[in-house]
Structure 1
């Protein structure tokens, strides 16, 4: 019997028993169809905050894995069946033949959200979800994904085309502008990360991006610093931020994204 791999020691110690059990259950359900398990999001960008951050994972499987197995996997990993120690688990499963080609579509086989602070949701139909979050997540996974099982991230997740990434970033900023379902601090920090990506072509941690924007854009420094201060607290204790200032900042972010797309010939 092949032992379940240990999570990398670079991951937070408070998550390692959970990730070890999650890997064991995933391997038990998927068997030889399992291609890879990657930590993405704040874990890959080394900005995980316990009590605030989600655990973001990407799983790649052979296309022959059955729908019944996908449902079994969702049942095996749902909280509290498997108690999530973080704010939540956001897990996406892709078929190998989709993941290893650039795409601007959602394209998942399973999208599972679960955990103490996330409502349980298991979707098996990518047509019911907006594409942009998945495009951004795969772009981050290709650049920074941390392999928990299987081959390195760059070998199993293709980088989406830059045109598709910029369209996804713009769509995410527009959604954040609506405000529903997102804490104000997270909307501001995601905006910072979007601008840093436009300027550098690299994905960085939210708080690192916030430091860069606060240093470069004095007009927004108080708002960005307030967002960082709030982000460092648990979700339930997040600070309110001035709505008008958040909206003005996100409008500025959207202009930077559009400007980047026009300048580099990536405008849709």
Structure 2
């Protein structure tokens, strides 16, 4: 059973012992059915902030994995049974055959949220969750996922169709516009990331995305600068941002996404 990450230096030093133990426990539970363990999210995009960011992990397993292994895995990885040093762990398990084909569905076998700053959640039914989070995460994983164990990300995670990703981004922007349960700085920076994807077809780290949008959109520069300053703080002391300015910015983001969807549909 492995206790060594494929490339320890591909993940932040603060997370290495934790991710090593996560891989070990995942391998212990899944055994020969384990195909890959991938770091995604902020770690994959090179923008992990200790004390602020979650640790996002995607696990791919052989479809013959016994169903009883999924709740066992959730119990083995739940905080504080495995103490999470990040704000939280967001871990998603997919069957290999599902992950290998483009899809606009959630499609997971297990969705686990756990950690010191995350509400505990274990779901074994993808119909319980809006699909857009998972479509975006798989798109990020295909582009930039970092291998912790097993096969490379692009070998096991298909890139969702661009129309599926754009539809997911539109749903994400609507979610952040509603604001419930999301920090203001994160709402703004996710909006920047959405705009950069629409412009380039590539995912960028939140801070780099905000800098790119600020360079081209002078009217939003004060808000983006405030969001970036707030993002430097731990989440419990994040700054309040002007609500009207945040809404105006997210409305502008939604318009850019809708324009991009319209162009994609006309091709």
Query: Could you tell me the TM-score, scaled by structure 2's length?
Result: 0.98
CA contact (8 A) 1:163 1:266 kept: no
CA contact (8 A) 2:2 2:23 kept: no
Alignment partners' CA distance in 2, 1:164 and 1:3: 36
Give CA deviations for 1:178-218 in whole Å, capped at 9, x if unaligned: 00010000000000000000000100100000000111100
State the partner residue of 1:37: 37
Alignment of structure 1 residues 1-268 onto 2, 5 Å: 2-6=1-5, 7-265=7-265
CA contact (8 A) 2:2 2:27 kept: no
Give CA deviations for 1:118-163 in whole Å, capped at 9, x if unaligned: 0111100000100000000000000000011111100000000000
Change (3 A) 1:148 1:251: same
- SS of the residue 2:38 aligns to: strand
Change (3 A) 1:162 1:266: farther
Alignment partners' CA distance in 2, 1:232 and 1:171: 26
Structure 1: unaligned runs, 5 residues or longer: none
Alignment partners' CA distance in 2, 1:82 and 1:162: 37
- SS of the residue 1:67 aligns to: coil
Alignment partners' CA distance in 1, 2:139 and 2:10: 21
Q: What displacement does 1:266 show?
A: 6.6
Cα-Cα RMSD: 1.0
Q: What displacement does 1:14 show?
A: 1.2
- SS of the residue 1:5 aligns to: coil
Alignment partners' CA distance in 2, 1:225 and 1:142: 30
CA contact (8 A) 1:166 1:266 kept: no
Alignment partners' CA distance in 2, 1:88 and 1:266: 41
Q: What displacement does 1:12 show?
A: 1.1
- SS of the residue 2:9 aligns to: coil
Q: What displacement does 1:261 show?
A: 1.0
Moved over 2 A (4+): 2-8
Alignment partners' CA distance in 1, 2:50 and 2:4: 23
Alignment partners' CA distance in 2, 1:109 and 1:226: 39
Alignment partners' CA distance in 2, 1:52 and 1:113: 15
Alignment partners' CA distance in 2, 1:240 and 1:3: 44
Change (3 A) 1:266 1:11: farther
Structure 2: unaligned runs, 5 residues or longer: none
